[in-house]
Homo-oligomer: A and B are copies of this chain.
Amino acid sequence: MSTRNETGQRDPAACACLNLRKTARVVTQAYDAHLRPTGLRATQFSLLATLAPRQPVGVTQLAEKLVMDRTTLTRNLRPLEKRGLIRMAAGADSRVHEISLTEEGRAALQAAIPYWENAQNSIAERLAEPRLDRLLTDLAAAREVFRPGYRHG
């Protein structure tokens, strides 16, 4: 795959954005399928896993960690709160809405981890592990291009 076509022009089929989105669709569907028995979507699993070691944490701070728009996170929290997996409470600074896992949330996350590991194994093994590491590193570099200075994993 080259970013230029036969005549040296940029080729829209080699669009970095399109290729990222296509891959994100395929991989998300696969992770969602693995996680189906847990009742969590891949996005929700990642949200809970990112939240777990940081609780309690405010909306803006968690959104930054997830490289997600703050208002997107607000909306993504809704179904998890409705299902009782997370809880929101006012912080010392009453503007901050602190997010925490509930007991159910901790249990759901723990229960989901083996299913997530199966999904991660399926790509790690079939892509050959060094190549997955390289892909993750290159993805972080791509984020760095547009968000310089942030600590991209």
Contacts and interface: CB of A to CB of B under 8 A. Distances in A.
Nearest to A33: B146
A61 interface: no
Interface string A130-149: 01111111111111011100
A90 interface: no
A89 interface: no
A108 interface: no
The residue in A17, A30, A129 that gathers the most chain B C-beta atoms within 10 A of its C-beta is A17
A126 interface: yes
A50 B15 CA distance: 11
The residue in A119, A129, A138 that gathers the most chain B C-beta atoms within 10 A of its C-beta is A138
A148 to B, nearest CB: 9
B153 A142 contact: no
Interface in A11-44: 12-31, 42-43
A66 interface: yes
Interface in A69-87: 69
A27 B142 CA distance: 8
Nearest to A112: B12
Pick the 3 closest A-B CB pairs, nearest first.
A12-B49, A22-B67, A18-B46
